[in-house]
Structure formats: structure tokens, C-alpha cells
Amino acid sequence: MNEAFSVLIPAYNEAGSIASVIQGLRATLQGREFEIIVIDDGSGDQTARIALEQGVRVLQHKRNRGYGASLKSGILAGRHECLVIMDADGTYPAESIPELVAALKDADMVVGMRAKENIPLLRRPAKWILRRLDQYITAQKIPDLNSGMRAFRRSLAMRYFSVVSDRFSFTTTLTVALLSDNYVVTYLPIEYHQRVGKSKIVPWDFVNFMILTLRLSMLFNPLKIFIPASFLCFVTGAAKFILDIMVAAEKNGGNLGRYILTHRTISITAMILLLAGLQILLIGMMSDGLARKIGLQNPLEYRTHAVVELEPLPPSS
């Protein structure tokens, strides 16, 4: 028996594409039990009105709160445990949804993996850097880090509400969180189409992605950050220590021992770096112990007062 699911579509000023996306979903998913929820993130156009005319559920934020916040609102409102997310710009194929839902039987999250050649050229370097950093943190290969088409369980996603982003990096941080906690994430190849309209992602979002990734590492695997930082300080300090000794030896020939006893041979810089390396390592070990002990047992409550569900339009006479 096919599992029922909710399709969540966050939308911000997508009046030009939302109707065709909804129609494509209905045509593809005929005969299956599902619902479509459009989350209008404070759009200034007719996105919400057009979605209502298509007869789907529409949630509306009073102001623009971000891609991740829209997904959180949709996750809470979904009537089914199985959730599928996709964008409102027409880039993701509705035809792949049944395959994603079916694959969820053997995984905790299934990601629609886009073909590399279909990703805009200017965005590839930033995506490569971010993916390499996240693969280092999670110690797992990540073919597509921030695909906007994926399937997962409602209860699992809600467990991470307090750590995943309200902005565009929601999918990135959710992937890192699940992999860091050793959940099974699988990837299925999908088509990726040219979007309708202009992308909402700006260069500053890359910086936010990096910061959030580092924050997640501090939460799930602090030693991945603290050990390299400690090693860098310690090696630099040791190099400075050796250089100070060599300079002192060159100045005093065979009387180095007496010179060390009567003069300040080792620089303050070397001592600070060596002590900093040791302190960073100790802090990292303490953070790692706390992360393992505390875990994510008490995620912060997600506030829902800023979202309302719009009433369906009356039937046309």
C-alpha cells in the first residue's frame, strides 16, 4: 500500500510559477493519497491568491521570515508523517516524488540529487567548498548538500527545529545534523530544470552557510574544529620556540646553557601559542563530552503565532 504524504512548497513572490507547479503535482500524483501545502512567506505578489485558486492548503507568514521558517511552518501543519519538500520555482520534477517516498522505507531522509551540469556555473565553487567542509565534519560523502527536493519523517525533522536554520541553509544544516547523528541519508538522481524567475539566494548566504556549518560542528563534533585549531597554534608555537633557541645559540656559541639561565631566551609569542594550543585542545575535549552528554533531548519550542492558514476560496458559481 502506498504511503500518504504531504508536499510542502515554500514560496516567496512565485506568482509566475506556483500554479504550474501545483498542476504538475496533481497530474503526476493521481491515484495517491497526498496533500499540497503552499507556505507563502510574506510575498508581495499574488502567490497566495493563485495557490488558493488551485484548491490547495495555503499558510501565510505575516512577514518574510525565510525559507527554513516556511518549511518549519509546513512541517508542523502537515497532516501526514511522511513529508516531501520542493521549491515553487519549477526546478524540481514532480515525477520523482513517488520514488523518493518509496525509498524512505529504507532511510531516514532521501535527497533528490541534482546533476552537476544543471547547477549554475557561478554557484559551483561555493557549493564545492561548503560540501567539502561538511563532508569533513560528518566524515561521510555528500553528493548533494542543499538540494531543495527531499523526503523525510515529520517527527525526525521536528527533533532538530532548534538547530536548523530559518533561512536558505535549512536543508544544508538538516543534512549535516542527521549525518552527524548517524542517521541514514540516501540520494536518488533527479532532473533539475531551469528556474522560473530570479533566484532568491544572494552571495551573503554562502557566508551564513559556513557559519551555521561551524556551529553545527561545535554542537555535534567539536573536536573536528578544536583539534585543527589546537594543532595550528601548537605547531606555530613550537616553530617559534625552536627559532628562539637557534637565535640564542647563534649569539652565544657554546655558552647557550648559561645564557638561557640569565636571559629571556623564549619569546612571549612562543609561550602564548603553546599555551593556546593546549587550552584549545582541553576546551575541545570538554565541549565534546558535553555534546555527547546533552545531545538534543530538549529542542526549543518552535513558535507558530506568526503563521496563519488562509481560508479556502468559495466555489465559483
Q: Name the DSSP class of 75.
A: H
CA torsion sign, 220 to 138 to 145 to 3? negative
Tell me, what's the pLDDT at 296?
Answer: 47
Print the domain residue range for 237: 223-294
Burial class (CB in 10 A: 0-12, 13-18, 19+), 213: buried
For residue 308, tell me if it sits in a domain. no
Whether 92 and 213 share a structural domain: yes
CA distances from 12 to 66, 144, 307 (A): 9, 23, 14
Q: How far is Cα 234 from Cα 269, in angstroms, rounded to an integer?
A: 11
Q: Quick one: 229 and 211 in the same domain?
A: no
Q: Does 314 reside within a domain?
A: no
Rounded to 10 degrees, what is the CA torsion of 91, 94, 98, 99? -30
Domain closes at, from 172, 205, 221 = 221
Q: 7 and 71 in contact (C-beta within 8 Å)?
A: no
Same domain membership, residue 248 and residue 127:
no
In a domain, 109, yes or no: yes
136 and 278 together in one domain? no
Is residue 311 a part of any domain in this protein?
Answer: no
In a domain, 270, yes or no: yes
Question: Do 239 and 205 reside in the same domain of the chain?
Answer: no
Same domain, 273 and 153: no
On whether residue 303 sits in a domain, the answer given is: no
Would you say residue 19 lies in a domain?
Answer: yes
pLDDT number for residue 298? 44
CA-nearest of 25, 35, 31, 45 to 92 is: 25
83 and 31 together in one domain: yes
Same domain, 137 and 265: no
Exposure class string for 141-180: b at 16+ Cβ within 10 A, else e: ebebbbbbbbbbbbebbebbbebbbbbbbbbbbbbbbbbb
Burial of 181 (0-12, 13-18, 19+ CB in 10 A): middle
Tell me, what CATH number does 208's domain have? 3.90.550.10
299 within a domain of the structure (yes/no): no
Residues 6 or more apart whose Cβ sits within 8 Å of residue 173: 160, 163, 164, 165, 212, 213, 216
Q: Judge if 151 and 116 occupy the same domain.
A: yes
- Total of domains in the chain: 2
The per-residue pLDDT for range 216-255, each reduced to its tens digit, is 777 777 888 888 888 899 899 889 888 887 777 776 665 6
Q: Given this model, what pLDDT does residue 286 score? A: 77
- Over residues 252-296, the pLDDT tens digits come to 665 656 555 555 667 888 888 888 888 888 887 776 666 555 554
Question: Do 204 and 229 reside in the same domain of the chain?
Answer: no
190 and 49 part of one domain:
yes
Instruction: Kindly give the parts of the chain with pLDDT less than 70.
Output: 1, 116-123, 194-206, 209, 251-265, 287-306, 316-317
What is residue 289's predicted lDDT score, i.e. its pLDDT?
Answer: 62
Domain final residue, candidates 221, 241, 268: 221
One domain for residues 123 and 215: yes
Instruction: Tell me if the pTM is above 0.85.
Output: no
pLDDT at 120: 61
